């Protein structure tokens, strides 16, 4: 054939292929999510093989392992004792709570590790919602924000580097920014869960924290989070959320879940000059693990391809439970 253009020329050898490779993975772009609990043992999470709830003592070892693999950031989630959960979730701003203690300890032992937190009420709420549920069953916005601000300040006090509001209340980024600044934490950043969808992919995470919305009791409790998290049918709305978060002072924008929302990652990348993060969530992890256990897919190849696809879509940062495995595999290639 008389062809001028033969794209295969640049695919012929591995040297040529790597020369023209557009995107790559670096463990420094991973944020590694970790679950902590009060116990003194390590507790596996059944729907997330390889992921555990760590005691504070064991958490250190896992974070050091991640650091040695080149991972520079972790995000912490608490499994709070049932007895501490209340309707107003006030445990979320207890200075001596699980998360502030975990942050202090990590910062003492490994000060260079960047610590991101999650700001929302669900792990501390006996109703299992990210905000305060009124007696009529409405998730209250402005009342919740006061609590979120106190939670963020306590986390900053403990040494958090990046505060991650994950609750999707309106106006929380601006309010948290102001609360942090008022207390002298103007250097602490906000990584906002900007476009967080009301998704079934969070199932295994809610098992890990036992944080799913509860049954209605003395008051009605919404069965899902669709009055605050975004409708999976909407894309333009993500841009509105991104614009608001930027105006309110977010430093990094996040899309969540990741895989089913790659178009949103791409759109935000076009719309904003801020760093974009994507959350490769618990349900996405669980699906890969289940298929790999059955021998139906090659786990290593699928994970590295998936993480690379986040970078191609425009994500600078990837929150992923595969972080340590992927970092190890990247060393071997
Ligand atoms: C809590 C929160 C959730 C996740 C991160 N922070 C669950 C939810 O909103 O119900 C999900 C993470 C995952 O599934 O990996 N606000």
Residue nearest (by alpha carbon) to ligand 1 atom 7: 202
Please report, rounded to a whole number, the percentage of residues in the chain having pLDDT higher than 70. 100
What are the structural domains, with CATH classification, of the chain?
25-332 (3.20.20.70)
Task: Give the pLDDT confidence score for residue 209 in this predicted structure.
Answer: 87
Q: Choose one of 122, 125, 285 to mutate for the ligand 1 pocket test, by most ligand atoms within 8 angstroms of C-beta.
A: 122
The verdict on whether 108 is a catalytic residue reads no
The verdict on whether 196 is a catalytic residue reads yes
The answer to whether residue 212 scores a pLDDT higher than 80 is yes
The answer to whether residue 182 scores a pLDDT higher than 90 is yes
Q: How confident is the model at residue 53 (pLDDT cuts 50, 70, 90)?
A: very high
Q: How confident is the model at residue 333 (pLDDT cuts 50, 70, 90)?
A: confident
45 CA from centroid of ligand 1 (Å): 15
Q: Choose one of 34, 120, 192 to mutate for the ligand 1 pocket test, by most ligand atoms within 8 angstroms of C-beta.
A: 120
Average pLDDT over residues 278-303: 98
pTM score: 0.97
The encoded tokens of residue 102 equal 């975990």
Q: In terms of DSSP H, where are the helices of the chain?
A: 14-19, 56-68, 98-109, 142-158, 172-182, 203-209, 236-248, 262-271, 282-293, 299-313, 323-332
The answer to whether residue 208 scores a pLDDT higher than 90 is no
C-alpha–C-alpha distance, residues 238 and 231, integer Å: 10
Q: Are strands 43-44 and 52-54 parallel, antiparallel or unpaired?
A: antiparallel
202 CA from centroid of ligand 1 (Å): 6
Ligand 1 atom nearest to CA at 130: 16
Residue 91's nearest CA partner among 117, 56, 123 is 123
Query: Which residues make beta-bridge pairs with 43?
Result: 53
Average pLDDT over residues 305-332: 97
- pLDDT tens figures, 138-162: 999 999 999 999 999 999 999 999 9
Ligand 1 atom nearest to CA at 203: 14
C-alpha–C-alpha distance, residues 121 and 127, integer Å: 10
4 CA from centroid of ligand 1 (Å): 51
The answer to whether residue 216 scores a pLDDT higher than 90 is no
Residues at CB less than 6 angstroms from ligand 1: 118, 120, 122, 130, 166-167, 202, 205-206, 225, 281-282
Sign for the CA dihedral angle at 250, 205, 32, 260 comes to: negative
Task: Give the pLDDT confidence score for residue 117 in this predicted structure.
Answer: 98
C-alpha–C-alpha distance, residues 174 and 63, integer Å: 31
Task: Given the residues 79, 85, 196, 225, select the one marked as catalytic.
Answer: 196
239 versus 209: the higher-pLDDT residue is 239
Q: How confident is the model at residue 282 (pLDDT cuts 50, 70, 90)?
A: very high
Q: How confident is the model at residue 284 (pLDDT cuts 50, 70, 90)?
A: very high
- pLDDT tens figures, 61-93: 999 999 999 999 999 999 999 999 999 999 999
Q: Is 287 exposed, middle or buried (0-12, 13-18, 19+ CB in 10 A)?
A: middle
């Amino acid at each position: 054939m008389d062809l001028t253009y033969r794209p295969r020329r640049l695919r012929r050898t591995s040297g040529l292929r790597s020369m023209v490779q557009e995107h790559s993975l670096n463990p420094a772009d991973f944020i590694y999510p970790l679950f902590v609990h009060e116990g003194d043992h390590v507790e596996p999470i059944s729907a997330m093989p390889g992921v555990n709830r760590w005691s504070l003592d064991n958490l250190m070892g896992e974070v050091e392992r991640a650091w040695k693999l080149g991972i520079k950031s972790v995000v912490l989630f608490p499994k709070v004792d049932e007895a501490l959960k209340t309707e107003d979730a006030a445990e979320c701003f207890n200075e001596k709570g699980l998360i502030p203690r975990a942050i202090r300890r990590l910062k003492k032992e490994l000060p260079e590790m960047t610590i991101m937190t999650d700001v929302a009420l669900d792990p501390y709420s006996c109703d299992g919602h990210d905000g305060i549920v009124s007696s009529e069953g409405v998730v209250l916005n402005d009342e919740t924000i006061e609590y979120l601000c106190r939670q963020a300040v306590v986390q900053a006090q403990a040494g958090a580097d990046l505060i991650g509001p994950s609750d999707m209340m309106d106006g929380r980024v601006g309010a948290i920014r102001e609360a942090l600044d008022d207390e002298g934490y103007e250097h602490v950043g906000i990584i906002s869960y900007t476009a967080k969808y009301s998704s079934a992919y969070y199932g295994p995470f809610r098992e890990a924290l036992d944080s799913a919305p509860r049954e209605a009791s003395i008051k009605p409790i919404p069965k899902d989070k669709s009055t605050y998290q975004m409708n999976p049918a909407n894309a333009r709305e993500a841009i509105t959320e991104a614009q608001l978060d930027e105006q309110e002072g977010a430093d990094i924008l996040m899309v969540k879940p990741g895989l089913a929302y790659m178009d949103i990652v791409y759109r935000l990348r076009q719309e904003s000059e801020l760093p974009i993060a994507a959350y490769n969530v618990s349900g996405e992890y669980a699906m890969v693990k289940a298929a790999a256990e059955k021998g139906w897919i090659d786990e290593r190849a699928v994970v590295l391809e998936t993480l690379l696809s986040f970078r191609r879509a425009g994500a600078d940062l990837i929150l992923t439970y595969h972080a340590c495995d992927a970092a190890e595999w990247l060393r071997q290639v």
